[in-house]
Amino acid sequence: MANFTDDDDALLAELGIEVEAKKLSRRTPREERIVAGFEEIQRFVDEHGVVPHHGEERDIFERLYAVRLDRIRELEECRALVAPIDTQGLLSSNGNLAQSTIDELDDDALLAELGVEIEVTEITTLTHVRSTAEKQAAEEIANRERCEDFENFKPLFERVQADLKAGTRSTLPFVKDAGFSKAEITVGQFFILGGQTLYVADVGEPIKAPNGDSDARLRLVYSNGTESNLLLRSLQRALYKDAAGRRISDPSAGPLFAESLNDEDSESGTIYVLRSLSDNPTIAANREIFHKIGVTGGSVEKRVSNAKLDATFLLADVEIVATYKLFNINRAKLEKLIHRVFDRARLEIDLKDRFGNSVIPREWFLVPLFVIDEVVERIKNGTIYKYTYDQRQAKLIKL
């Protein structure tokens, strides 16, 4: 079909042919929420290569996406809304859950399906007349727009999810009697509101609220790729009203190291850093920055005594270049934390063990020793969560 200009329209009008301009449709806040939720499921599928599944062994985010996808599949209006953007065929499969009587696709219903009990308040019950303040709060929460630079924040959400899995972060109820004030909502914090993880990216200049209290405009980025500019007081109020609202704690490494042992302390193990003495050309060319980082509960010397027979050590002798003693620590979680920091610098080499089996060691990284020293110090003082490793600059950079 041809595209008509204004002159063409005028000509058609002279001929007695009415030209009806195509009206641009606008989605309601609820429809925007459904679409944003579906797009988040699509990002999960792109990243993991599978449709989200149910099950207690799955993390909370995957379970949430699985229930949300079931609901979208069940409700015809939702299917029709997202069908044009369903490039992955997510709507073609049948849901895993039985037909539900729930007629609203909201995060409270989804959380209930996950076993999180919530109390329905007037702000979520459409049959009740709500106050102006409640309506304003609901509108503020729903008034989100696409975050154009979400790629800058996506690694932060991935790190938080990894920290929650590793146990270095936890979620805490956001309740009034916990004494958590708006003054404690600061840049860099994470919260869960309405089933979405949100990040406080910016806190604006202080302004005076109508009641005389101090307030500020926030930039909040959500894990589904949207953002909003809620007032600080509005965020606090929304978290109080959401029975499933949570504050995500900062990572805490705990008492990893000590200058000396107390009576109640116990030695838990050692972080060790090794350098390979292999004559492999790739390894030899990068020997000074090619290190294996691990944690052991026994003797490091004994651990590496048969290195040349073990594919984990690249089937070659190794040199111990650094060790750090640990006290009162979960060795497995600590090792995961260190490996996560250096994940982008991981070097995977496909080797054949002495039986001819293919082995890909996972604990070797292209990272200078001085950076490893800094990571250990930042784990020790509890600030490692603020940094990530930039391989191009070969240094830690602040998030």
Q: Of 249, 246, 268, whose CA–CA distance to 166 is shortest? A: 249
Residue 335 has pLDDT above 50, yes or no: yes
Inter-axis angle of helices 29-48 and 132-142, to 10 degrees?
30
What does the pLDDT read at residue 24?
Answer: 45
Query: Which structural domains are found in the chain, ordered by start?
Result: 29-120 (no CATH), 135-248 (2.30.30.30), 267-398 (no CATH)
What does the pLDDT read at residue 2?
Answer: 47
- In which band, very low, low, confident or very high, does the pLDDT at 325 lie, cut at 50, 70 and 90? confident
- In which band, very low, low, confident or very high, does the pLDDT at 14 lie, cut at 50, 70 and 90? low
Please, what is the end-to-end C-alpha distance for the chain in angstroms?
51
Residue type, 145: E
- In which band, very low, low, confident or very high, does the pLDDT at 215 lie, cut at 50, 70 and 90? confident
Residue 274 has pLDDT above 90, yes or no: yes
Residue 13 has pLDDT above 80, yes or no: no
Residue 374 has pLDDT above 50, yes or no: yes
C-beta neighbour count of 254 within 10 angstroms: 14
What does the pLDDT read at residue 127?
Answer: 42
Residue 21 has pLDDT above 60, yes or no: no
Strand partners, 290: 366
Residue with more model confidence, 58 or 227: 227
Lowest mean pLDDT: which of 45-54, 85-94, 103-112, 201-210?
Answer: 103-112
User: What gap in Å lies between CA 173 and CA 160, rounded to an integer?
Assistant: 17
Residue 44 has pLDDT above 90, yes or no: no
Q: How would you class 334 by CB atoms within 10 Å of its CB: exposed for 0-12, middle for 13-18, buried for 19 or more?
A: buried
Q: What is the mean pLDDT of residues 333-358?
A: 81
What does the pLDDT read at residue 252?
Answer: 54
Q: What is the mean pLDDT of residues 214-224?
A: 90
What does the pLDDT read at residue 191?
Answer: 92
Per residue in 155-203, pLDDT tens? 999 988 888 887 777 787 775 544 445 556 888 899 998 888 999 999 9
Per residue in 261-270, pLDDT tens? 455 445 578 8
User: What gap in Å lies between CA 314 and CA 239, rounded to an integer?
Assistant: 51
What does the pLDDT read at residue 125?
Answer: 40
Residue 94 has pLDDT above 80, yes or no: no
- In which band, very low, low, confident or very high, does the pLDDT at 36 lie, cut at 50, 70 and 90? confident
Q: What is the mean pLDDT of residues 378-397?
A: 84
For the chain, what percent of residues have pLDDT higher than 90?
Answer: 16
